[in-house]
Every structure is written in structure tokens, then in C-alpha cells.
């Protein structure tokens, strides 16, 4: 399933567009018609969460259907190695920048750069106690993913008991319904849930797991829905009401993951190209480094403001700078950490669910 790896870079890029929309539109006014689509870029995270649950269920749901302390420790260790090294490096880059610019303490919008927040970031629990971001802003989702990883060995035991495709689809729908109901009842004016961070990650992560089982075990032909993908994109791009800082489109994001996993044709072929797969491998690093590039983006926006040609060069330089930062983090931090843990690990890799029926194993990398 290399197509799911390619899908990751689209999700990460969508988040980047969400954060740098004002800068991009100031440099390139011709991007303004895509404003609604870029404003919906927060939904990129709602694409990552079910994607993570989907791939982990594919690889572990059956092999860990009976709880084993050794398997659970091995799984959590590997998940830690997958997300913590990049997160830790990005955290300290942000700390160094905050020291240099004098922005330690509580900043605009309650952004926390305090000793307590630093310690929570090191432990990856920084959004468990506060809905405000801390240090590297996008890293809030890493704490949520870490929570899901810690519970995953127990979740595998439970979801593996569901063997019928229709039942899996029903549980996926119920998971999303529970999440949306809680948001409708308890969300703060800013759209967040104070002290209820787990609602979003667990609703989408578990839904992704059940969607995977519905496809693999039941042979659910979700690939037939591939023609609907452009409809989802157009709805998000043209109708502000479907993505007005709410999460009503979250179930559609989960369905996108399941459809891409089972789709062939041009969708699967394009997302499976060597370029898209390579970019997908570095997408976690793009997500984790792009917000640290704010000074570079600001400088390029100011430099390119003079004329159309300088604006075009600034946009190209912005894309290259973001890509280069992500690739360097991927090559210098993420890959070595992954190799290190695989060398030390003595636990064999699990066979994916239904591997005998669905061809070769997919890329095992989930996006946190």
C-alpha cells in the first residue's frame, strides 16, 4: 500500500498551507481562490489520525489479538522511536529560537514556552493537561498519538474480536459519531475540548482501525468510491460551511484513507510513484519542521513583496526551504533513529492482517 505513504505528504502539505495561507496569498494573490481549501487545512490532522489507526491495525491487529507484555513493550518502544527523536530535536530547535528571540514564557494566544511545558514535551504529554499549544505548535498531535500508541496493545485485543465487515463499518461510524457528539456538546468557543484531548485522537484512530478491518477481512470494495474523492476535495474547497473550524468532515477523511488503500487506477498509481512515496516518507518531518521555518517564511514574504518576479522566486524558495528542512531532518534524525531501534529489536516484525489474501506487505510507517 505505498499509496498511503503518498497520501501522507498531501495531508502534511495541507497543514502547511493552513499555517502559511496569509503569507502565500500576500506573495501570490492568484492563490486567493483556494483560500477556503487552505483554511480547511487543519483537517490534515484528521486525515493523519485515521491513517495511523488504519496502518497499525493492518500490521498488528491479528498478531497482537492476544495480549502479551513482551509484544506490547516492543510495540510501544518502536512507536517511541518512530516519533520521539524528531519531536525532541524540533522541540530544542524551538527552544533555541525562543531564547534567541526572547519569547520564552506564555505568549500570544496562551502559547506555552515554560519549563513545565518543556518537561511535558519531553514526555510527549504536553496536550494532556492544557488545550493551548506549547513550543513547536504542531507537535500537540504527537502527544495525542502517543496516548493512542500506549492504548493500542489493548485496542488490538478488542478490535480483533470483530470479524464481520459490516460490523466493523458500524463500529467505525459509531466511533466518529461519539467524537462528533462530544464536540457538539462540550467544545469551547475556540473549538477545543479542555481536558478532553483524547476524544479527537481516539475517535479517529479507532475508526481507522475498524475501516481497515472492514476492508481486509470483508473484502469491502471501497476502491469503487474513488470517483468520489474529487467531490470531497471540491466540497472542502468551495463550501466554507463544511470546514468552518469544525470536525464534521472528519468521517470523510477516514473514508478517504480507506478508499485510497483499496483504490487502483490513476489514484493509486499517482500516489505510489517513487516521488510521492519518498515525499511521504519525509512527511512527518515536514509536519514537525514547517512551523519552525516561520522566520524564513517571513523574510521571504517581505523580500518578494516588491515585484511579481521576486514574488514568484520567493514562493519557489519557500517551497524549497520547507522541503529541504524536512528532508534534512528525515535523513539526519528520523532514518538513523529508525535503524538504531531495528538493530536493537529482537522481536520479529508482524505479518499484516490478511497478508495471504492481499498481496505484499505495505510500507509499515504510520504518520503520527
The answer to whether 257 and 52 are in contact (CB under 8 A) is: no
Q: What is the pLDDT of residue 44?
A: 93
pLDDT at 366 (0 to 100): 39
Mean pLDDT of 81-97: 95
What pLDDT was estimated at residue 219?
62
pLDDT at 243 over 70: no
Q: What is the pLDDT of residue 350?
A: 54
Chain mean position to CA 344 = 27
- Say whether pLDDT at 242 is over 80: no
Of 283, 269, 286, 291, residue with least CA distance to 365: 283
pLDDT at 216: 85
Interacting residues of 221 by C-beta distance below 8 A, sequence separation 6+: 262
Q: Which three cell numbers stand for residue 234?
A: 471540491
pLDDT digits 0-9 by tens, 106-150: 888 788 899 999 999 999 999 998 888 889 999 999 999 999 999
Backbone angles phi, psi at 187, to 5 degrees: -65, 140
Q: Tell how far CA 273 is from the center of its chain.
A: 20
Residues of the chain with pLDDT > 90, as a percent, come to 53
Q: What is the mean pLDDT of residues 235-247?
A: 74
Reduced to 3 states, what is the DSSP secondary structure of residue 134? strand
Write the pLDDT tens digit of every residue in 158-170. 998 988 888 999 9
**Structure confidence at residue 364 as a pLDDT band (50, 70, 90):** very low
Highest mean pLDDT among 94-98, 233-237, 334-338: 94-98
> Which pLDDT score is estimated for 357?
36
Q: What CA–CA distances, in Å, run from 323 to 93, 172, 184, 280?
A: 17, 34, 37, 12
Give me the pLDDT at residue 75, please: 93
- Is the per-residue pLDDT at 21 higher than 70? yes
The pLDDT value recorded for residue 191 is: 77
Mapping DSSP to helix (H, G, I), strand (E, B) and coil, where does residue 205 land? Answer: helix
Q: In terms of DSSP H, where are the helices of the chain?
A: 2-27, 35-39, 43-60, 69-101, 115-123, 140-159, 165-186, 198-218, 229-238, 250-262, 265-271, 274-281, 283-289, 294-303, 308-329, 335-344
Please tell me the predicted confidence (pLDDT) of residue 367: 39
Assess whether pLDDT exceeds 50 at residue 355. no
Q: Check residue 344 and give its pLDDT.
A: 58
Top pLDDT among 284 and 2 is at 284
In this predicted structure, what is the pLDDT of residue 1? 80
Q: How far is CA 142 from CA 9, 95, 216, 271, 349, in A?
A: 17, 17, 27, 25, 23
Q: Is residue 10 very low, low, confident or very high in pLDDT (cuts 50, 70, 90)?
A: very high
**pLDDT single digits (tens) 250-305:** 998 998 998 888 877 777 888 999 999 999 999 999 999 999 999 999 999 888 88
Query: H or E stretch including 282?
Result: none
pLDDT in tens, 161-215: 988 888 999 999 999 999 999 998 988 887 788 888 999 999 999 999 999 998 8
187 in helix, strand or coil?
A: coil
Which value, in Å, is the radius of gyration of the alpha carbons in the chain? 20
Measuring CA to CA, how many Å separate 72 from each of 78, 125, 141, 144, 155? 10, 19, 22, 18, 11
pLDDT of residue 86: 96
Amino acid at each position: 500500500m505505498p499509496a498511503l505513504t503518498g497520501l501522507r505528504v498531501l495531508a502534511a502539505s495541507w497543514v502547511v498551507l493552513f499555517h502559511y495561507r496569509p503569507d502565500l496569498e500576500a506573495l501570490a494573490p492568484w492563490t486567493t481562490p483556494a483560500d477556503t481549501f487552505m483554511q480547511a487545512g487543519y483537517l490534515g490532522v484528521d486525515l493523519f489520525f485515521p491513517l495511523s489507526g488504519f496502518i497499525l491495525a493492518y500490521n498488528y491487529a491479528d498478531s497482537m489479538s492476544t495480549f502479551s507484555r513482551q509484544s506490547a513493550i516492543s510495540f510501544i518502544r518502536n512507536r517511541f522511536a518512530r516519533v520521539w527523536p524528531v519531536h525532541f530535536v524540533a522541540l530544542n530547535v524551538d527552544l533555541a529560537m525562543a531564547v534567541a528571540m526572547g519569547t520564552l514564557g506564555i505568549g500570544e494566544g496562551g502559547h506555552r514556552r515554560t519549563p513545565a511545558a518543556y518537561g511535558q514535551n519531553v514526555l510527549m504529554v504536553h496536550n494532556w493537561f492544557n488545550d493551548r499549544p506549547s513550543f513547536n505548535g504542531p507537535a500537540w498531535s504527537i502527544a495525542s498519538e502517543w496516548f493512542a500508541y500506549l492504548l493500542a496493545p489493548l485496542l488490538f485485543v478488542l478490535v480483533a474480536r470483530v470479524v464481520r465487515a459490516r460490523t466493523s463499518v458500524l463500529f467505525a461510524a459509531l466511533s466518529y459519531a461519539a467524537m462528533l457528539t462530544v464536540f457538539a456538546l462540550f467544545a469551547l468557543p475556540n473549538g477545543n475540548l479542555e481536558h478532553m484531548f483524547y476524544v479527537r485522537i481516539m475517535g479517529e484512530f479507532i475508526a481507522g482501525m475498524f475501516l481497515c478491518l472492514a476492508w481486509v477481512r470483508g473484502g469491502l470494495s471501497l476502491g469503487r468510491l474513488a470517483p468520489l474523492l474529487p467531490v470531497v476535495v471540491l466540497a472542502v474547497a468551495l463550501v466554507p460551511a463544511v470546514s468552518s473550524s469544525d470536525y464534521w468532515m472528519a468521517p470523510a477523511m477516514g473514508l478517504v484513507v480507506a478508499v485510497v488503500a483499496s483504490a487502483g487506477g490513476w489514484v493509486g498509481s499517482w500516489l505510489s510513484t517513487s516521488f510521492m512515496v519518498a515525499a511521504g516518507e519525509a512527511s512527518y518531518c515536514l509536519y514537525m519542521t514547517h512551523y519552525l521555518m516561520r522566520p524564513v517564511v517571513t523574510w521571504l514574504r517581505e523580500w518578494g513583496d516588491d515585484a511579481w518576479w521576486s514574488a514568484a522566486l520567493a514562493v519557489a524558495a519557500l517551497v524549497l526551504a520547507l522541503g529541504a528542512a524536512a528532508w534534512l531532518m528525515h535523513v539526519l534524525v528520523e532514518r538513523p533513529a529508525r535503524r538504531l531501534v531495528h538493530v536493537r529489536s529482537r522481536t520479529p516484525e508482524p505479518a499484516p492482517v490478511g497478508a495471504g489474501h492481499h498481496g505484499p506487505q505495505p510500507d509499515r510507517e504510520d504518520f503520527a
